[in-house]
Amino acid sequence: MSDNSLRLVWVYPDLLSTYGDQGNALVVERRARQRGLDVQRVDVRSDQPIPTSGDIYLIGGGEDRPQRLAAERLRRDGGLNRAAENGAIIFSVCAGYQILGHEFINDLGEREPGLGLIDVISTRGEGDRCVGDVLADIDPRLGLPQLTGFENHQGVTHLGPTARPFARTVFGNGNGTGDGTEGAYNDTVFGTYMHGPVMARNPQIADLLLKLALDVNALPPTDDRWYEALRAERIAAASQPA
Ligand code: GLN
C-alpha cells in the first residue's frame, strides 16, 4: 500500500457477480473510507488486463459457463497470479473460490484448470444442489465472529494439505464434502461458498482484509448497528427449518 491509498480490484463483474457479490466491493470500499483511506476502486471486465499492483482483489460467484470463461481468461492473463506472488490479498466467493483452486468441473463436464492459488480441488456433487442459509465458526486464528451466508452450488470442494478451512459449519453444507469445512485459505488468499453478499452480513471480514493490507492489528471502530441487525436476522433464519 502506498501512503493512505488503497487499490481495490473487483475482478470480472461482467462474468462473476451473482447473488449480490458486488456488495462485497461496496462494503470494503465504505469501511476503508470510514477509516480515512483514499480508495481507488478498479472494476476489471473480462476483456481487460488484471492490474498487478492492487492491494485487495475481490472475485465473486457465477453460473457454470461464465465460470469457465473467467477461468480461461484469468489463466491467459496471468495478472492475478502475479499479484498473489507480490503478496496481494484475494477474497473469492463460490465460482471464484473454485477458480482459485487447482481445478473444477466445468459446464461441459470436463476438468478445468484453476489458478492454483488455494490448495483445493472441486468436483461435481452427486447429490442435491447445496442451497440455503449457512452458519459457521470461522477459524479462531482469524479472530472473527460467526460467519453467516447463503450458499448455492453444485460443486464440492476438497482441501489439500496446505489449505486451512476458513470455517466449520454449524448449519448448512459449506464445502459439501461432509467433513463440516466451509471455504479455505492459504496465507492471504481466501475462498468461501458464502454469498449474501458475505461482507454485508460479516463486515469483520472486510476489516480483516483491510488490516492485512495496512499491516495493522486493529482499526478504528465503526457504527455497525445496521450490519448487526442483518446478521441477527440471517443467523435466526439459518437456525430455523425451511
Ligand atoms: N457453478 C458453480 C457451482 O455450482 C458455482 C456456483 C456459484 O458461484 N453460485 O458449484
Q: Which atom of ligand 1 is nearest to the CA of 63?
A: 1
Q: Which of 152, 177, 182 to mutate to test the pocket of ligand 1 (most atoms within 8 A of CB)?
A: 152
Backbone angles phi, psi at 241, to 5 degrees: -65, 145
Mutation test of ligand 1: which of 11, 59, 92, 94 has the most ligand atoms closer than 8 Å to its C-beta? 94
Mean pLDDT of 207-233: 96
The reported pLDDT for the residue numbered 219 is: 97
pLDDT at 215 exceeding the cut of 70: yes
The pLDDT of 173-200, averaged and rounded, is 96
The protein residue with its alpha carbon nearest to ligand 1, atom 5, reads: 95
User: Residues 185-196: pLDDT tens digits?
Assistant: 999 999 999 998
Contact criterion met (CB below 8 Å) for 74 and 98: no
Does pTM top 0.95 for this prediction?
Answer: yes
Q: pLDDT tens, 53-71?
A: 999 999 999 999 999 999 9
Residue 3 has pLDDT above 80, yes or no: no
Convert 131-164 to b/e letters by CB count within 10 Å (16 or more is b). Answer: eebbbbebbeeeebeebbbbbebbbbbbbeeebb
Give the mean pLDDT of the chain: 96
Q: Looking at residue 144, what is its pLDDT?
A: 97
Residue 23 forms beta bridges with which residues?
none
pLDDT (average), residues 94-101 = 98
How many angstroms does the Cα of residue 239 sit away from the middle of ligand 1? 23
Give the 3-state secondary structure of residue 81: helix
Q: Per-residue pLDDT tens for 143-153?
A: 999 999 999 99
For position 242, what pLDDT does the model report?
Answer: 58
Is residue 220 scored above 90 in pLDDT?
Answer: yes
**Burial call 9-25: b when 16+ CB within 10 Å, e when fewer:** bbbbbebbbbbbbbbbb
Give residue 239's Cα distance to chain centre. Answer: 23
How far apart are the C-alpha atoms of 12 and 112, rounded to whole Å? 18
pLDDT band at 2 (very low <50, low <70, confident <90, very high): low
Q: What is the assigned CATH class of domain 5-239? A: alpha beta
Strand partners, 157: 122
What would the mean pLDDT of 153-182 be, rounded to a whole number? 97
The pLDDT assigned to 129 comes to: 96
Domain boundaries, the chain: 5-239
CA–CA separation, 71 vs 81, rounded Å?
12
Give the number of the atom of ligand 1 that is nearest the alpha carbon of residue 152.
9
Report pLDDT for 241: 63
For ligand 1, the distance from its centroid to the CA atom of residue 155, given in whole angstroms, is 6
Whether this model's ipTM surpasses 0.85 comes out as yes
- Summarize the confidence of residues 153-163 as an average pLDDT: 98
Is residue 122 a contact partner of residue 166, using CB atoms and an 8 Å limit? no
Give the separation between CA 176 and CA 123, rounded to whole angstroms. Answer: 10
CA distance 242 to 237: 8
The three three-digit cell numbers of residue 240, written as one number: 430455523
